[in-house]
């Protein structure tokens, strides 16, 4: 199994948010997590990624127990996380953002060019500072940048947040292309049910920190 959570609890300090989360993502699957504002979607991805610690339960990735591993070790095992808000370096160009991710992920700088070439919208703006890009362009850059570290499982936190419909469709196309070309597995968190419907084979609903059956 690419990812397996069993009875996971987590939260912020003394504040419990996620309760008894059990879910799995098989290799090659695109799985969606749907939930309204504040239901714990971001908390779930931060817990899987290692930004927040699991207070109870187990997180497994490809048969390994990653529950207690620090963020960088999970990343090195192939876990990619495109965080909410995109977190592009605003002063660095698109190309430099990509190259920085290659270095951080232990990949050659050539990979930045290869990943840029996958996205027709990025190549022409490779010399532009990240900070001047539109929201949609930043989202595509955030996704492309995550791929620089050669992940096998990519977690996306609300990729359509604040994005106009035309670019939303482009992101759907890009993700489908990545599924075919890079054989990625994806875990997507969204409020947009139609977006998940266009991409995901399976969905979970998160409500007040619990998954609904």
Tokens representing 89 are 């370096």
Q: Kindly provide the b/e burial profile for residues 143-179, where b requires at least 16 CB atoms within 10 angstroms of the residue's own CB.
A: bbbbbbbbbbbbbbbbbbeebeeebbebbbebbeebb
Give the contact letters, 186-205, x = binds to ligand ATP (CB under 6 A), - = no: -----x--------------
Query: Which range binds ligand ATP by CB under 6 A, 12-20, 61-69, 87-95, 180-188?
Result: 12-20
Query: Which range binds ligand ATP by CB under 6 A, 40-48, 75-83, 99-107, 179-187?
Result: 40-48
> Considering beta carbons, is residue 51 or 62 the nearer one to ligand ATP?
51
Between CA 81 and CA 92 the distance in angstroms is 20
Contact between 131 and 88 under an 8 Å Cβ cutoff? The reply is yes
Applying CB under 6 A, among 35, 50, 105, 151 the residue interacting with ligand ATP is: 35
Applying CB under 6 A, among 42, 97, 107, 160 the residue interacting with ligand ATP is: 42
> Considering beta carbons, is residue 43 or 160 the nearer one to ligand ATP?
43
Between CA 128 and CA 82 the distance in angstroms is 21
Between CA 152 and CA 159 the distance in angstroms is 18
For 26-71, give the DSSP string: -TT-EEEEE--TTSSHHHHHHHHHTSS-EEEEEEEETTEE-TT--H
Query: Which range binds ligand ATP by CB under 6 A, 37-45, 98-106, 180-188, 196-204?
Result: 37-45
First to last CA, the chain: 20
Look up residue 86 and give its DSSP letter: -
Query: Which range binds ligand ATP by CB under 6 A, 41-49, 114-122, 123-131, 162-170?
Result: 41-49
Applying CB under 6 A, among 5, 30, 34, 41 the residue interacting with ligand ATP is: 41
CB of 86 to ligand ATP, least distance (A): 13
Applying CB under 6 A, among 37, 63, 166, 213 the residue interacting with ligand ATP is: 37
Residues 80-109 that bind ligand ATP (CB under 6 A): 84
How many C-beta atoms surround the C-beta of residue 52 within 10 A?
19
Applying CB under 6 A, among 40, 57, 130, 136 the residue interacting with ligand ATP is: 40
Q: Which chain residues interact with ligand ATP by CB under 6 A?
A: 12, 15, 17, 35, 37-43, 84, 191
């Amino acid at each position: 199994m690419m990812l397996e959570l069993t009875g996971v609890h987590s939260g912020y300090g003394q504040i419990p948010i996620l309760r008894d989360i059990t879910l799995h993502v098989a290799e090659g699957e695109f799985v969606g997590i749907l939930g309204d504002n504040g239901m714990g979607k971001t908390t779930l991805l931060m817990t899987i990624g290692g930004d927040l610690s699991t207070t109870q339960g187990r997180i497994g990735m490809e048969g390994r127990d990653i529950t207690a591993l620090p963020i960088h070790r999970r990343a090195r095992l192939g876990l990619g996380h495109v965080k909410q808000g995109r977190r592009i370096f605003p002063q660095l160009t698109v190309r430099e953002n990509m190259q920085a991710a290659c270095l951080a992920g232990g990949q050659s700088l050539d990979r930045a060019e290869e990943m840029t070439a996958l996205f027709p919208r990025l190549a022409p703006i490779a010399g532009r500072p990240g900070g001047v890009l539109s929201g949609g362009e930043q989202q595509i850059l955030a996704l492309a940048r995550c791929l620089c570290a050669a992940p096998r499982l990519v977690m996306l936190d609300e990729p359509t947040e604040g994005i106009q419909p035309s670019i939303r469709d482009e992101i759907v196309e890009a993700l489908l292309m990545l599924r075919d070309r890079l054989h990625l597995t994806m875990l997507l968190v969204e409020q947009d049910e139609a977006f998940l419907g266009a991409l995901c084979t399976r969905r979970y609903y998160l409500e007040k920190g619990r998954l609904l059956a």
